[in-house]
Amino acid sequence: MSMKHEQSERLRERAEQLFPGGVNSPVRAFRAVGGQPPFVARAEGAYLWDADGNRYIDYFGSWGPMILGHAFPAVVEAIARAARDSSSFGASTAAEGDLAERVRAVYPGMERMRFVSSGTEATMSAIRLARAATGRKRIIKFEGCYHGHADGLLVKAGSGVATLGIPGSAGVPEEIASLTLALPYNDPGAVEAAFAQYPGEIAAVILEPVVGNAGCIPPGEGYLAGLRRVTAEQGALLIVDEVMTGFRLAPGGATELYGIDADLITLGKILGGGLPCGAFGGRQKWMDMLAPVGPVYQAGTLSGNPLAMAAGCATLDELASHRDAIYPRLEATSRAVAEGVARAAQEAGIAVTLNRVGSMWTWFFTGGAVRDYAEAAASDTARFGQFHRAMLERGVWLPPSQFEAMFLSAAHGPAEVEATVEAARAALAGMRL
Ligand SMILES: *Cc1c(COP(=O)(O)O)cnc(C)c1O
């Protein structure tokens, strides 16, 4: 059980001399859970290997993209094949249309779309478009929802922002932050009240249809339909941010699962099969406001990158052609491991609330229900940190924050479930007071 970490320590010392906090994205630094993050050398299927050769079952899946498991052969081949024809042209290719057709097959509401290189770019561009479409300035988001790191979206954002316990970000001017209304999730009354307070001023409501970035929080019965109704009545756009849920909760994401009729949808993560890629799209009348057709400017040197398009096509092809096997397997494996660990916690006398939708879930270290960010924040994060460290030591790598969702891949199966539940039993036993 005692793992060696010499190589990771050496790499970390070097990284700390090169990157703020030693990382290129804050949550990778393990500040919220304590302990030191291993450096990854490679991964295959459900497993990661660190620089010292230690093996871990992966429950963060590159924060969502790796739904088929790591180094999935068809994805690797597609990338290699595309790379031989050069990795970028800055001109249109057939591959962009190929991926867009695959996206529209499962997201018919994306009548027109545009590819970008990250989820951040997708949501930031969708907001700009919504403001142009409505001629309004304000937007509504929800506490604990993360939509990337654009200025106006870093207000009460989840994920790393929640993990660090800060309300927003330094460097975002008050004038910009004040245009973002951050409301409690799952509270239809709060949205009605905001529209009443700012009549004719709200351009859009943006949300995670199932929250992943405050930990996993499902929408209450009728909540999404209520948002659709009120935004339509008020002339505001409904932007469904499916960067995390897209292609994961169903082939057509939460949009398909809950039957949402969004104005604009944002995608990322799985879309690029592990390469940098995002997209935003929706009704043609809105999308045709983008340059070069309309006045809303948006662009990208590497947008529609051929390697990302190839990896995305290979991923979506696999998901589409085996949908009747993959999604039930994701559901069954996720249920077994999520409930197995929750039961182990109960047996150990440790209060845990499990929230799960398909292959996304969170074990909140709290006795109460978790329906919004305030309830998630009531969790015992020190306990979660203890659990995280104890699991890592036993070869199970969970996302390093209470306010993140686990992500399972189709490569996970009964063997990984059993090993994980066993590790959790031992970890939880050691956490008893
Ligand atoms: C990850 C995420 C983003 C940001 O995507 P990046 O590719 O990290 O910029 C936006 N929205 C949601 C819901 C996400 O989970």
Q: Using one digit for the tens of pLDDT, what is the confidence trace for 151-186?
A: 988 888 776 666 655 567 888 888 899 999 999 999
4 in Cβ contact with 54 (< 8 Å): yes
Mutate to test the pocket of ligand 1, among 27, 116, 123, 153 (most ligand atoms within 8 A of CB): 123
What is the number of the ligand 1 atom nearest to the C-alpha of 208?
Answer: 13
pLDDT at 277 over 90: yes
pLDDT at 150 over 80: yes
pLDDT of residue 169: 83
**51 CA distance to ligand 1 middle (Å):** 27
pLDDT at 356 over 80: yes
pLDDT at 375 over 70: yes
In angstroms, the CA 271 to CA 36 distance is 30
**148 CA distance to ligand 1 middle (Å):** 5
* CB of 244 shorter than 6 A to ligand 1: yes
Percentage of the chain lying above the pLDDT 90 cut: 92
Mean pLDDT of 224-241: 98
Amino acid at 55: R
Mean pLDDT of 39-64: 98
Mean pLDDT of 335-356: 97
Span 100-135, pLDDT tens digits:
999 999 999 999 999 999 999 999 999 999 999 999
Mutate to test the pocket of ligand 1, among 25, 124, 141, 213 (most ligand atoms within 8 A of CB): 213
Residue positions annotated with a catalytic role? 146, 241, 269
In angstroms, the CA 263 to CA 124 distance is 15
pLDDT of residue 271: 98
* CB of 54 shorter than 6 A to ligand 1: no
pLDDT of residue 162: 63
Provide the residue ranges of all domains of the chain, joining segments of one domain with +.
Answer: 6-63+323-431, 73-321
* CB of 147 shorter than 6 A to ligand 1: yes
* CB of 241 shorter than 6 A to ligand 1: yes
pLDDT at 361 over 60: yes
Question: Which superfamily does 6-63+323-431 belong to?
Answer: Aspartate Aminotransferase, domain 1 (3.90.1150.10)
> Which is more confident, 94 or 174?
94
* CB of 212 shorter than 6 A to ligand 1: yes
What is the number of the ligand 1 atom nearest to the C-alpha of 148?
Answer: 4
Side-chain-side CA neighbours of residue 335 (13 Å):
7
pLDDT of residue 17: 98
Closest CA to 140 of 102, 85, 190: 190
Mean pLDDT of 24-31: 93
Q: In what order do the strands lie in the sheet with 40-44?
A: 40-44, 47-50, 55-58, 396-397
What is the number of the ligand 1 atom nearest to the C-alpha of 245?
Answer: 13
Mean pLDDT of 19-40: 94
Cβ within 8 Å of residue 350, ≥6 positions away: 365, 383, 428, 431, 432
Identical fold, 6-63+323-431 and 73-321: no
The CATH number fitting domain 73-321, selected from 3.40.640.10, 3.30.1330.10, 1.10.620.20, 3.40.50.10490: 3.40.640.10
User: What is the pLDDT of the chain when averaged over all its residues?
Assistant: 96
Q: How confident is the model at residue 323 (pLDDT cuts 50, 70, 90)?
A: very high
* CB of 65 shorter than 6 A to ligand 1: no
* CB of 146 shorter than 6 A to ligand 1: yes
- Pick the range with the lowest mean pLDDT from 1-15, 156-170, 222-236, 378-392: 156-170
